[in-house]
Amino acid sequence: MLKENRNALVEAIKLDYGCRSEFETLFAEYFVALEAIHDAIKNLKRWMQPQRRRIDALLYPGARNRVLPQPLGVVGVIVPWNFPLNLSFCPLAAILAAGNRALVKMSENSSHLAELLVRLTPQYFPEDKLRFFPDGGGYGPAFSALPFDHLLFTGSGATGRAVMANAARNLTPVTLELGGKSPAIVAPDFPLKTAAERILWVKMFNAGQICTNVDYVFLPQGREPEFIAHCQRLFDERYPDINATDYTAIIDERAYRRLQDTLADAGQKGATLVNLADKQHPQAELRKFPPHLILNPTEDMLLMQREIFGPLLPILTYRNKEEVVDYINRHERPLALYPFTHKRELQDFYISHVMSGGVSVNEGLLHVGQHDLPFGGVGASGMGHYHSREGFNTFSKLRPIFYQGPFSAVQLLFQPPYAKRALRFLNLLLRFKG
């Protein structure tokens, strides 16, 4: 389905965005989805194998234990607009590999893609195996209230809470992939030029509309001018014309205005705003939002209170590593953590002192693309995992099965009255455990 309709899928996503970089769609959505499917095909036979588990041979002679993965049933998937192909087909690779059926609700901002998938899917799948639904009328609450056997939601924390509340009425288990404010930390030993190259690439990718994006960066105190200079040079080299197709548009007018308001709020409250596109003339009708670095941000600013989801990068400074850890841990647990340092002990310090959904060391974002690593949040950034075997396990019932041996020691020895034989045998067992 993906291979035979590649161009149509890319074009549909472009129409939904207004302007979406073809490379970004192919790399972060199409290629990643194909990788997920290939990974499942390659490893499914191994994932499906019943697992042998240990047994207490003294109490259960001749018996055996095993765990058998079995399908849950019907899985619901609620897909956001920012990576709609990736965030529908990567979960589907695990859901279908585990033997389930799936209903997938697309975002109202993905109307062209949803229409295409609704039309294409019956050509490749029976309707009782996989169906896509558009969301042109706010169907989200009704969809999440259906009695699924499992529900996967990717989106904002506020909507995630509502989805979980709806699912709870049916005792439907949920996997929530949310977001949050994921920090990057540049250590004094790490080359600032390299850090700027890698952080700016992540921040500009999809115009910053990524749940695992670098939401703010910690720099050693006094290094801000050098970092700004590197970012300015890099942006000029990579995006000589912000109106060209390499720079993705903001998804809709509401999101564009939200970023304008967020930036204006920071400026009014004393932040220094550095427009990396100040020499260019972005066309507002194309929703090309100029990227900004924000210096001296404070807690009362909107951009430090909620996930930015756009090309705005606040810069904080620090004097010691404890200061960084204290700041991050005063806030909700992030979906990702990005420490930049070549010192192993400092890498381990940040990984052990800051809990996050995932980590990329000396890079941003790329842990998400590793298919043999589980993906998921923690705390306010989500719950549960998918990708590869963890995805197969999430969408399976790992069913424990006990097979009794030729005779039952429990039935033979543990019958009342307990005072004699049963208690003596239990005390013997307790000595072996003590």
Name which of 314, 222, 216, 232 is nearest 265 in CA terms.
Answer: 314
Fold of 3-178+385-397: Aldehyde Dehydrogenase; Chain A, domain 1 (3.40.605)
The pair of three-digit structure tokens given for residue 158, joined into one six-digit string: 């506020």
Check residue 312 and give its pLDDT: 98
Q: At what angle do helices 224-238 and 192-204 cross, to 10 degrees?
A: 50
Question: pTM for the full model?
Answer: 0.93
Give first-to-last CA distance, the chain, whole Å.
59
Check residue 168 and give its pLDDT: 96
List, in order, residues 6 or more apart from 194 with CB less than 8 Å away: none
Check residue 425 and give its pLDDT: 86
Q: State the Cα–Cα distance between residues 356 and 379, nearest whole angstrom.
A: 9
Give me the sign of the Cα torsion angle 339, 342, 346, 351.
positive
The count of C-alpha atoms lying within 13 angstroms of the C-alpha of 37, restricted to the half-sphere facing its C-beta, is 15
Q: State the Cα–Cα distance between residues 105 and 87, nearest whole angstrom.
A: 11
Q: State the Cα–Cα distance between residues 271 and 154, nearest whole angstrom.
A: 32
Check residue 428 and give its pLDDT: 85
The pair of three-digit structure tokens given for residue 17, joined into one six-digit string: 């965005």
Contact 304, 216 (CB under 8 A): yes
Q: State the Cα–Cα distance between residues 96 and 98, nearest whole angstrom.
A: 5
List, in order, residues 6 or more apart from 392 with CB less than 8 Å away: 40, 44, 47, 69, 94, 97, 98
CB atoms within 10 A of CB 337: 22
Instruction: Identify the DSSP state of 107.
Output: P
Check residue 283 and give its pLDDT: 83
| Cα-based torsion angle of the residue sequence 53, 56, 59, 65 in order, rounded to the nearest 10 degrees | 0
Can you name the residues that pair with 153 across neighbouring β-strands?
Answer: 78, 176
Name the CA radius of gyration of the chain, rounded.
26
Q: State the Cα–Cα distance between residues 141 and 168, nearest whole angstrom.
A: 13
Check residue 433 and give its pLDDT: 77
**Pairing relationship of beta strands 74-78 and 64-71 according to DSSP bridges:** unpaired
The pair of three-digit structure tokens given for residue 395, joined into one six-digit string: 């969408």
Check residue 382 and give its pLDDT: 93
Instruction: Give me the sheet containing 64-71, strands edge to edge.
Output: 51-53, 64-71, 396-403
Q: What is the pLDDT along the chain (434 residues), one digit of tens a residue?
A: 999 999 999 999 999 999 999 999 999 999 999 999 999 999 999 999 999 999 998 889 999 999 999 999 999 999 999 999 999 999 999 999 999 999 999 999 999 999 999 999 999 999 999 999 998 777 888 999 999 999 999 999 999 999 999 999 999 999 999 989 999 999 999 999 999 999 999 999 999 999 999 999 999 999 999 999 999 999 999 999 999 999 999 999 999 999 999 999 999 999 999 999 998 988 888 999 999 999 999 999 999 999 999 999 999 999 999 999 999 999 999 999 999 999 999 999 999 999 999 999 999 999 998 888 999 999 999 999 999 999 999 999 999 999 999 989 888 888 888 888 899 888 888 888 76
CB atoms within 10 A of CB 260: 14
Fold of 182-376: Aldehyde Dehydrogenase; Chain A, domain 2 (3.40.309)
Check residue 57 and give its pLDDT: 87
Domain locations along the chain: 3-178+385-397, 182-376, 404-433
Check residue 418 and give its pLDDT: 85
Residues with catalytic function: 177, 211
Check residue 329 and give its pLDDT: 97
Is the fold of 3-178+385-397 the same as that of 182-376?
Answer: no
The pair of three-digit structure tokens given for residue 61, joined into one six-digit string: 């002679």
